[in-house]
Amino acid sequence: MKSIQIELPDKRAVEVNALVEEGWFANENEIVHLALAEFVRRYRLALMEQFHRDDIAWALQQKKPAAT
């Protein structure tokens, strides 16, 4: 398993700590893990589509004749 370190704005850190203290999550790691999983689930398709658009645009740009 890979470990990462993140920095949060103070306000967000207070919110995260409150959720843990109130028993919604076991610890801060659980919140971050769930948030990242939800982000990937929600935006995977849009990110893949944007990657494909960028890739196609790059390929089309390569086909254009060089300006003289």
Domain ranges of the chain: 10-63
Q: Other CB atoms closer than 10 Å to residue 8's CB: what's the count? A: 13
* Amino acid, res. 30: E
Confidence of residue 61 (pLDDT cuts 50, 70, 90): confident
pLDDT higher than 70, residue 31: yes
pLDDT of residue 68: 59
pLDDT higher than 70, residue 27: yes
pLDDT of residue 66: 66
DSSP secondary structure code for residue 65 in this structure: P
Host H or E run for residue 46: helix 28-63
Nearest to 50 by CA among 61, 60, 58, 41: 58
* pTM of this structure: 0.61
